[in-house]
């Protein structure tokens, strides 16, 4: 492990704000947070690097992909109240995962965004891509175009849900995407909603979904945006915007093994930062 400040010039993420004096309280931190994630980056509100580890290694990102899915949908200014019905094409043919959104389930585009972001619902994400003008193929093209426009030059998107291991990025690229996602109120709201109910079937009861980020229920954390991800190739992943001791920070953790490791790494980071502030 090493601090990214040693080679910060090559990793500067936002040159437009880099000229601003770094007033972060989290500078020149002593010691090491001891993270188990293979790649990690932590940025202050001005884009200054607080901590980094293998920030430019290209890795599968699993359902972190869904943040880009939401960005592309919202950029298109589609009708969020339009009713969308799940069909056979939305089933996962890569990993054969199941879903409570059976074929015939109908929800609004807004509700599908909520489920995709909050509880990482794969069929919800697939349906959002399928119903985009031009279909899923065009949608994926737009995902990659958006990545290019954000300067995510080491990233590639292959499907809206993140089930394909060809959805890849780096910790530094994902910090760019996280910063961009923060500008969409529906994304920040959906990713920090702890629990929600939907009624996708007219003659059945409601379905309850919970957020995949357990830190949202931890009173020690003030989280403004978050997304988890997991497939075998990606390991456990977590990205967050959080307020720590009055300062907004961006956190990206990739390729952790063990279901709770990203949450443990997040707590280790927070403890390390607070001890040095």
**Short-list 209, 201, 234, 213, CA closest to 94:** 234
DSSP conformation letters of 39-75: EEEEE-TTS-EEEEESTT--EE-GGGHHHHHHHHHHH
DSSP letter, residue 244: E
Helices and strands, counts by H and E, the chain:
9, 11
Catalytic, 66? Answer: yes
The residue annotated as part of the active site, out of 37, 39, 66, 119, is 66
Please say if 120 is a catalytic residue. yes
Could you give the CA distance from residue 105 to residue 22 in angstroms, rounded to a whole number? 50
Q: How far apart are CA 118 and CA 213, in angstroms?
A: 8
Name the active-site residue from 39, 63, 155, 266.
63
Closest CA to 107 of 24, 207, 31, 11: 207
The yes-or-no answer on residue 53 being catalytic is: no
Query: Residues near 92 by Cβ (< 8 Å), separated by ≥ 6?
Result: 99, 122, 123, 126, 161, 163
Indicate which residue of 120, 155, 169, 266 is catalytic: 120
The residues facing 108 across adjacent strands are 83
Residue 249 to residue 33: CA distance in whole angstroms: 16
What kind and span of H or E run contains 256? Answer: strand 247-256
Cα–Cα dist 77/177, whole Å: 19
What residues act catalytically?
A: 63, 66, 120
């Amino acid at each position: 492990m090493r601090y990214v400040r040693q080679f910060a010039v090559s990793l500067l993420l936002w040159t437009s704000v880099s000229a601003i004096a770094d007033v972060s309280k989290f500078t020149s931190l002593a010691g090491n947070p001891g993270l188990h994630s293979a790649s990690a980056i932590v940025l202050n509100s001005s884009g200054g690097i607080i901590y980094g580890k293998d920030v430019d290694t290209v890795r599968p990102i699993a359902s972190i992909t869904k943040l880009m899915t939401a960005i592309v949908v919202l950029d298109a200014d589609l009708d969020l109240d339009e009713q969308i019905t799940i069909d056979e094409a939305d089933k996962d043919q890569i990993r054969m995962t199941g879903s409570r959104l059976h074929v015939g389930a109908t929800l609004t585009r807004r509700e599908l965004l909520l489920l995709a972001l909050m509880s990482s619902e794969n069929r919800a994400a697939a349906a959002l891509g399928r119903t985009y003008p031009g279909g899923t193929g065009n949608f994926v093209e737009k995902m990659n175009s958006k990545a290019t426009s954000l300067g995510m030059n080491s990233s590639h998107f292959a499907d809206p849900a993140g089930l394909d291991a060809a959805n890849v990025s780096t910790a530094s690229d994902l910090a760019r995407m996280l910063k961009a996602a923060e500008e969409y109120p529906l994304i920040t709201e959906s990713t920090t909603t702890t629990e929600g109910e939907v009624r996708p079937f007219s003659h059945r009861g409601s379905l309850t979904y919970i957020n995949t980020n357990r830190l949202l229920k931890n009173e020690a954390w003030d989280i403004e945006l978050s997304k988890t991800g997991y497939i075998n190739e990606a390991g456990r992943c977590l990205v967050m915007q959080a307020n720590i001791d009055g300062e907004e920070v961006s956190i990206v953790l990739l390729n952790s093994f063990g279901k709770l490791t990203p949450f443990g790494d997040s707590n280790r980071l927070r403890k390390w930062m607070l001890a040095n502030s």
